[in-house]
Amino acid sequence: MITLLYASLLGLLQVTLAYKVGSSRLKTNTLLGDGNQSEVLQKVRAHGNLTEYVPIFLILLALIEMQGVALWKIHVLGSLFFLARIAHSYGMYISTESTPPRLIGILVTWFSIAGMSIYGLINYILNSMM
């Protein structure tokens, strides 16, 4: 199952971002919340943002894979999403403002989830008519 590969890669990214949050909290002596520290807030939100989007992406990816979509298409979706999440996290780390990596990352994230959702709806409607 290809989804397992992308779930594993995203899991490692999740742990990496969580480690960076913990390191920032130790460095700034902020044990809870962000302590009004921009550095901590940026890392907390990069980690949180990944956490918000990964579950629905993986659910949709697994369901589409189960529908028999060509494996190369599953790899394209998984790879694009994974790279987009790396870009988005990097963009959040380097600035509190919008950055090209952050913008590209979120746009690819939204289009991936929206595209798979539309595909799922169309597939469901067509299959329920038969």
**Neighbouring C-beta atoms of residue 37, cutoff 10 Å:** 17
- Least confident span in 5-14, 19-28, 66-75: 19-28
pTM of the model: 0.91
The model's pLDDT over 28-51, given as tens digits with 9 standing for 90+, comes to 878 777 777 778 888 889 999 999
pLDDT of 26 reads 81
pLDDT of 52 reads 97
Is the C-alpha dihedral spanning 36, 27, 104, 62 positive or negative? negative
Tokens, residue 65:
């894979």
The ranges assigned to domains in the chain are: 2-128
The model's pLDDT over 54-91, given as tens digits with 9 standing for 90+, comes to 999 999 999 999 999 999 999 999 999 999 999 999 99
pLDDT of 47 reads 93
Q: Give the architecture-level CATH label for domain 2-128.
A: Up-down Bundle (1.20)
Tokens, residue 36:
């009004």
State the DSSP H helix or E strand holding residue 91, giving kind and residue range, or none if neither: helix 71-94
* Under 8 Å between Cβ of 105 and 89: yes
The CA-based angle 67-53-119, given to 5 degrees, is 30
Nearest to 115 by CA among 66, 72, 70, 64: 64
